[in-house]
């Protein structure tokens, strides 16, 4: 499966900072999955902002009302500590230059510093002998809230909670020594100091519980011998993750398929869906064309999701390639279409119909020393077409499969006698896109798009392109777009031959492709 192109990595989140990971893909400092650490990082910033606003805001609001309570050095000093520490943590949590693990460690330090600021505020006002209760320390709430909101390692979280509780007596000693005022009575001190330690003791099982939950997420992310590292795409069938084999350290891509996507109308049992999934995974793994994405493994995760393990590719799908760089030269478009046709020829001869050929499922990549090497992706809508094979598919029966902009008319009509020529129609739509940067038909919605494929004749691509398109190549594209399957090329093999015979265009080869890639998509410099 593909890695996203430069500047498009992790499209689910525009900028996703990479965590330092062990070979299994788990953050080295915290032993928690990436998503948990990133969520905890954001919460550290949120708590810092709350502390900054409430600590400094409370001081400013009380200053004109009860100035006698805020006399001396320590009340404004505590307010400044709230403001500086809280805003610092908020800024660090939003910074791209500080690793999330470091932000979490600094967050634990801020928990202790803010607890000290709370203690300085609470003990700054002298106690009266008759004053027994001022209410429990605000550190109780702070310690309890922090351990629940910010998951971390068990040891660090407990240490920070206990240290924060110790800020009570430390703050009392600082005030007593610095101001010379008498300390509170033992009863008064106990009422103020004991609750934070009770909260710290409560934090011990809570921290352990949340850490176990995080490690359970990590285990749930294990797919057989693979560890999930980063979400790189998602769609109607499921999600695609970058993954690493735990023993071989080989980076791969794993597609997780939602169980209901395999069940006919959601009525199939899990066992039946699993057997169908296994049968189809084996059929796809049997494809041997180098232009078909390679499947390494398949299975079922601990939480019941089906998954494929596929090769990780370095490049860009044809949809985004045209969007970024514009329509292709005719020679290059024919060069890529021939490779896709070879992949489909292999699948068709095995009795498989792809049914979702579109630019996003054709991937141009670097493959060793070769460039513009096309891989056909996502056989998730595959259907057996040979008479002797089971008519099973990964989509729900009775539901139209495919993408409307590239859907063959017979699929749009819901016909059951779908064969290889529907893929040829879709590949013609892809060729149209490569040459013009436009879809064959423009429509306001999916239904209008489907009706256009059923009823309208396509405008010749030469009339919608500023680049000259050879008549021979245009004839091939329009032949693929015939409404009646009998009028299209009879097979993908025949289509590949027709493309190879097209004349009147500059030839394209691996040498020209390498030059294009080095200029437009150079490899990132190796880090040392």
Which has more confidence, 298 or 345? 345
Q: Which residues on adjacent β-strands are paired with residue 222?
A: 227
Could you tell me which of 410, 434, 384, 401 has the C-alpha nearest to residue 488?
Answer: 410
**How far is residue 505's CA from residue 512's CA, in Å, rounded to a whole number?**
14
Handedness of CA 77, 83, 86, 92 (dihedral sign): negative
Is residue 108 scored above 80 in pLDDT? yes
| Helix, strand, coil share (%) of the chain residues, nearest 5 | 50, 10, 35
Instruction: Looking at 180-243, list the stretches that DSSP marks H as alpha helix, in order from N- to C-terminal side.
Output: 186-220
Other Cβ atoms closer than 10 A to 195: 21
Give the 3-state secondary structure of residue 143: helix
Q: What is the residue-averaged pLDDT of the chain?
A: 79
Q: Which two tokens stand for residue 270?
A: 């899990």
Looking at residue 374, what is its pLDDT? 96
**How many other C-beta atoms can be found within 10 angstroms of the C-beta atom of residue 184?**
22
- Helix (DSSP H) and strand (DSSP E) numbers for the chain: 15, 12
> Helix, strand or coil for residue 161?
helix
pLDDT average, residue stretch 415-430: 92
Per-residue pLDDT, averaged over 286-296, amounts to: 90
Distance CA 178, CA 123 (A): 12
Confidence of residue 63 (pLDDT cuts 50, 70, 90): low
| β-sheet bridge partners, residue 254 | 241, 309
User: What does DSSP assign to residue 22?
Assistant: -
Please tell me whether residue 9 adopts helix, strand or coil conformation. Answer: coil
How far apart CA 478 and CA 458 sit, in angstroms, is 8
Position 266 pLDDT exceeds 60: no
What's the pLDDT band for 438 if we cut at 50, 70, 90? Answer: very high
Q: 355 and 382 in contact (C-beta within 8 Å)?
A: yes
Task: Say what the pLDDT of residue 10 is.
Answer: 35
Q: What is the pLDDT of residues 177-213, one digit of tens each?
A: 887 777 777 776 777 778 888 888 888 888 777 666 6
For residues 470 and 351, the model is more confident at: 470
Give catalytic residues, as residue numbers. 356
- The pLDDT value recorded for residue 405 is 92
The pTM (predicted TM-score) of the whole model is 0.59
φ and ψ at residue 276, rounded to 5 degrees: -65, -45
477: tokens are 């594209």
Angle between helix 330-349 and 420-436 (nearest 10): 160
């Amino acid at each position: 499966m593909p890695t996203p192109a430069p500047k498009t990595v992790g499209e689910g989140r525009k900028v996703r900072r990479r965590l330092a990971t062990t070979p299994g893909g788990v953050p080295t400092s915290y032993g928690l999955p990436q998503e948990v650490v990133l969520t905890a990082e954001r919460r550290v910033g949120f708590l810092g902002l709350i502390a900054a606003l409430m600590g400094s805001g409370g001081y400013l609001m009380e200053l004109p009302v009860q100035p006698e309570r805020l006399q001396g050095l320590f009340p404004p000093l505590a307010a400044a500590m709230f403001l500086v520490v809280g805003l610092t943590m908020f800024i660090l949590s939003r910074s791209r230059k500080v690793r999330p693990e470091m932000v979490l460690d600094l967050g634990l330090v801020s928990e202790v510093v803010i607890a000290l600021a709370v203690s300085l505020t609470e003990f700054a006002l002298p106690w009266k002998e008759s004053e027994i209760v001022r209410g429990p320390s605000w550190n109780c709430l702070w310690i309890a809230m922090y351990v629940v909101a910010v998951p971390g390692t068990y040891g660090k979280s407990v240490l920070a909670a206990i240290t924060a509780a110790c800020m009570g007596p430390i703050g009392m000693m600082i005030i007593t020594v610095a101001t010379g005022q008498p300390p509170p009575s033992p009863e008064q001190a106990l009422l103020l100091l004991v609750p934070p330690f009770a909260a710290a003791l409560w934090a011990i099982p809570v921290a352990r519980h949340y850490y176990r939950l995080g490690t359970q997420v990590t285990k749930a992310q294990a797919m057989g011998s693979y560890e999930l590292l980063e979400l790189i795409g998602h769609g109607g069938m499921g999600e695609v993750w970058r993954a690493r084999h735990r023993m071989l350290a080989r980076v791969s891509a794993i597609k997780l398929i939602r169980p209901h996507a395999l069940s006919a109308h959601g009525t199939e049992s899990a066992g039946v869906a699993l057997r169908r999934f296994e049968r189809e995974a084996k059929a796809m793994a049997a494809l041997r064309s180098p232009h078909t994405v390679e499947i390494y493994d398949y299975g079922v995760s601990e939480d019941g999701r089906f998954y494929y393990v596929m090769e990780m590719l370095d490049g860009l799908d044809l949809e985004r390639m045209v969007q970024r760089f514009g329509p292709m030269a005719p020679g290059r478009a024919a060069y890529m279409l021939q490779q896709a046709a070879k992949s489909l020829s292999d699948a068709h001869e095995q009795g498989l119909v792809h049914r979702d050929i579109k630019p996003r499922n054709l991937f141009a990549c670097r493959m060793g020393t070769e460039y513009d090497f096309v891989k056909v992706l996502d056989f998730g809508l595959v259907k057996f077409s040979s008479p002797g094979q089971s008519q099973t598919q990964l989509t729900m029966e009775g539901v139209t499969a495919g993408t409307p902009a590239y859907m063959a008319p017979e699929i749009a009509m819901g016909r059951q006698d779908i064969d290889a020529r529907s893929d040829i129609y879709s590949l013609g739509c892809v060729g149209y896109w490569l040459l013009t940067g436009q879809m064959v038909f423009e429509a306001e919605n999916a239904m209008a798009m489907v009706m256009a494929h059923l009823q309208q004749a396509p405008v010749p691509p030469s009339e919608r392109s500023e680049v000259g398109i050879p008549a021979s190549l245009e004839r091939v594209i329009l032949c693929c777009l015939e409404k009646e399957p009998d009028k299209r090329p009879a097979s993908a093999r025949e289509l590949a031959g027709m493309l190879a015979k097209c004349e009147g265009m500059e030839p394209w080869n691996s040498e020209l492709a390498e030059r294009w890639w080095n200029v437009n998509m150079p490899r990132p410099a190796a880090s040392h």
